[in-house]
Amino acid sequence: MSQRTGQSSVEDKPVGQKPVIPETPAPEEKTYQDTMRKFWFAAGIAVPVLLLSLPDYFPTLREMMMGWHSAASIAAALLSLPVLVWSGGSFFMGAWNSFRNHNANMDTLVALGTGSAWLYSAVYAVAPSLFPAEAAGMFFDVAVIVIALVLLGQALEAKARGQSSEAIKKLLELQAKTARVIRDGKELDIPVEQVQVGDSVLVRPGEKVPVDGVILTGESALDESVVTGESVPTDKRPGDSVIGASLNKTGAFTFRATKVGKDTALAQIVQMVAQAQTSKAPIGKLVDVVSGYFVPTVVILAVLAFLVWFNLGPSLNFAVVAMVTVLVIACPCALGLATPMSLMVGVGKAAQNGVLIRNGEALENASHLKVLVLDKTGTITKGQPALTDVLPLADYNAETLLTLAAIADRRSEHPLAQAIVQGAADRGLVLAEPQSFQALPGEGVQATVDQKTIFVGNAKLMTNQGIDLTALSTLTERLADEGKTPMFVAVDGKAAGVIAVADTIKQDSLIAIRTLQQMGIEVVMITGDNQRTAQAIAHQVGITRVLAEVLPADKASMVKTLQQEQQKTKGLVGMVGDGINDAPALAQADVGFAIGTGTDVAIEAADVTLVGGNLRSLVYAIEISRATLNNIRQNLFGAFIYNTLGIPFAAGVFYPLFGVLLSPILAGGAMALSSITVVTNANRLRSFVLPPLTEVKP
């Protein structure tokens, strides 16, 4: 291989010095650390402020302190001010920015609640003569403790967000740190970041594949579960692709690097999941709209509570407490967390199982699917022909017939011929070279094997050679009904039997399709094959509605027609495909699912990528979407109920019955607890497991 410009840097740099994962904390971790520092500062100040505020809770103690009470109040004001400025500064800045944009949010409520409590108390501490005697009492401790509690809730939220991305961190940590490349005939161990496209890379048993590529020499079994979610090792031969971060289980091999750095499959997965976790689902946008009305309503209710109790209540302090408590308890922290927390956990969980969801809208739409259109080739079937039947006539046995046909086809490059050769090899047959060989375009092949003239091909070939196929007519009709392609074999001018080749059904297609139908989803198969072949495949997997003989350009219009059929019931239509010709249909569908083993164009056009390339992942994608959306609904219900029930208690509606008014401090604790409840509920998705798929008999 030619000398590369980057080789000098290879020799200058020690191996493995450049870490794959940055040493700097993740954004969530940094937010958590910063918030906890502010919390501990507020909590530390809260202790002396609370001690200085004890006279306000115990009139006897206030009388004992006499002149010291005013000094204690001023000391509490000075101690608590840094908490509002530094620990709570983000709330006041957020409230001011919202006010400038003619908006209101959670920061507005926290800033109004704590700010009004501190300002009221500060004015009273400096000029108590301005207030009536019954207004004695201050709320510096309330301002400090509420800020501390809100910060604690935010810190726990940040911690939970970081844990939600733990799956992505683990994926990144599973990358190989170094690679063994072959340059100018020499093996060089270099950091994985220095691997270049086109490099030949050597991987030994037990090592990780450093980057994406295509095998040049050698065979092995690779554990690709870090990317696909499939724990069963995949056999790899020359020409097969390998995924970076997968584990080489058995043999050694060399491969050519095709994608490095941010272009590798693993890097793309991390980027897609990160984008999806920060996106918004349609149900989350509804929350934004509701919050836009909710916060101003709360401010109005707080003012009303103050005015009512100012005129009817026992004291001015009572009215202030009611107003502050309403503002604090109504902070929509839990409401704002309800959707993003569930979305982060759900998308991360899906990625761990080989399902890449592009955004929140795709996740929500997947939970509403009523119709799924499956492309036949490469989705239901493997997308490559395979030997299925060997049916000899009386003068031959199956082994002899297959051996003769495979030897005759050895030099052919036709996919059907290669399927016969591979089928013979899989059965352990020893194949010699034919004495002569001739390809007959559009018909088959002619070869000499053991001094016998062998013809292998279609009915046209046999007719042109004058070979009678009457004895095989019943067999060929049955094979055609099963969706198989018959290849006739003739020896020395006489029919010897028929060998069937077909694009075989994937092992998990039947069970996945039956499961989808049990989930209430209509499964439709679409294909360019003729009606007879299409019906045969559909019958095998239990699909009753088939769209056959559909040209690639017409697939999108067929999906659109199905969408129009679903308009009355508001059901959504999904499309599953893997080829370039599927891309328009994937884009047209409400949710496009791309088989990860397919083309880059199809994957780019899709909303969800099934990395493992099987339909079990399709079932998982829909089930995790439904589970995530249910989790979001639970969170939203809990948050709305909390605010709906909490505000009347905070406003003192039940004071005439119970004679007790809710404390702002308790309100702050309850608000933080509601956020923790939402986070805890969202994290239940971490334990989501798809129930075992059990086959249903036709």
Give dist(CA 681, CA 345) in Å, integer.
10
Give dist(CA 527, CA 512) in Å, integer.
19
Give dist(CA 342, CA 288) in Å, integer.
16
Give the end-to-end CA distance of the chain in Å, rounded to a whole number: 57
Give the bridge partners for 573, in sequence order: 371
Read off the amino acid at residue 353.
Answer: N
Give dist(CA 263, CA 212) in Å, integer.
9
Name the 3-class secondary structure at 232: coil
- CA atoms lying within 13 Å on the CB side of residue 346: 36
Residue 493 backbone zone (phi > 0: left; psi -120 to 50: alpha; other: beta): left
Give dist(CA 280, CA 404) in Å, integer.
61
Give dist(CA 407, CA 433) in Å, integer.
6
Give dist(CA 220, CA 204) in Å, integer.
10
Beta strand ranges found along 298-417 (DSSP E): 355-357, 369-375, 381-392
Q: Kindly give the pairing relationship between strand 572-577 and strand 591-595.
A: parallel
Q: Kindly give the pairing relationship between strand 545-547 and strand 355-357.
A: unpaired
- Is 375 designated active site? yes
Cβ 611 vs Cβ 227: under 8 Å? yes
Which of the residues 375, 503, 529, 590 is marked catalytic?
A: 375
Q: Among candidates 354, 303, 293, which has minimal Cα distance to 324?
A: 303
Quote the tokens at residue 281.
Answer: 């689902």
Angle at 236 between CA 232 and CA 238, to 5 degrees: 175
The number of helices, as runs of H, and strands, as runs of E, in the chain is 26, 22
Report long-range pairs for 237-244 (Cβ below 8 Å, ≥24 apart): 239/214, 239/215, 240/214, 240/215, 241/212, 241/213, 241/214, 241/215, 242/203, 242/209, 242/212, 242/213, 242/214, 242/215, 243/209, 243/212, 244/175, 244/176, 244/209, 244/210, 244/211, 244/212
Q: What secondary structure letter does DSSP report for 208? A: B
Cβ 147 vs Cβ 670: under 8 Å? no
Return phi, psi of residue 499, to 5°: -120, 130
How far lies 277's CA from each of 210, 287, 350, 357, 361, in Å?
Answer: 26, 17, 11, 9, 11
Q: Kindly give the pairing relationship between strand 186-191 and strand 220-223.
A: unpaired
| 515-548: b (≥16 Cβ within 10 Å) or e | bbbeeebbbbbbbbbeeebbbbbbebbebeebbb
Chain-centre distance of CA 162, in angstroms? 16
DSSP letter string, 606-619: -SEEETT-SHHHHH
Name the 3-class secondary structure at 241: strand
DSSP letter string, 522-568: EEEEE-SS-HHHHHHHHHHHT--EEE-S--GGGHHHHHHHHHHHTTT
Give dist(CA 119, CA 125) in Å, integer.
10
Tell me which residues are annotated as active site.
375
